[in-house]
Every structure is written in structure tokens, then in C-alpha cells.
Amino acid sequence: MSMSTAEDRAAAEETLSEDEYRDRLRELPPSAKLVAKVLETDSPLSQGQLAEESLLPDRTVRYALNRLEDVGLVGSRYSFRDARKQVYFLTH
């Protein structure tokens, strides 16, 4: 039985070193780097909070989060305060 993509990412994230984290981040656009930096200092945050903190448009934040998720650097869960919203956090 094969593992799902989410399980593959989780296994890879557990062994991610600081150098690997920086290498993955290096290949991303500046907006994704900024969103990652904001999440380093204050997380978990909703997409709206990330837009407010980074001064980026909502659409750009959404794109940055998708890129960060694609390389396994950010995870999400539903907010404990408002289950209609997701909050994002770094996974390294």
C-alpha cells in the first residue's frame, strides 16, 4: 500500500534540516519568502492576517501560501476561534 501525498510530505518535513529549509525557500518567489518570514515571527495566522502583516494583496498571499505548501514548508489547520477559517504555520 502506498502512502498519500500528505503522508509523504509529513515524512519529509520531519527530517527537514535548516539547510534544506533554506534551499527550498531560495527557489520561491519573493512573496512566498515574505509570507514565510511573517510566519516565522508570528503564527499561526489566517490568510487575512498574513495579508495585513505582510502588506501584500490577498491574491498574492494566496499564491505564496500555495507555493509554500507545494514545497512542504507550510501547513494549515482550522482556526480554534473560528472554524470557518484556516490558519497557516511553518512546518520545519
User: Which spans in 1-57 are helix H?
Assistant: 5-14, 18-26, 30-41, 47-54
Measured CA to CA in angstroms, residue 32 lies from 2, 4, 16, 17, 84 at distances of 30, 25, 18, 19, 24
The pTM assigned to this predicted structure is 0.78
Q: What is the C-alpha separation between 12 and 6, in angstroms, rounded?
A: 10
Could you tell me what percent of the chain has a pLDDT over 70? 84
pLDDT in tens, 25-39: 998 999 999 999 999
Residue 74: exposure state from Cβ atoms within 10 A (0-12, 13-18, ≥19):
buried
State pLDDT tens for residues 44-74.
Answer: 999 999 999 999 999 999 999 999 999 999 9
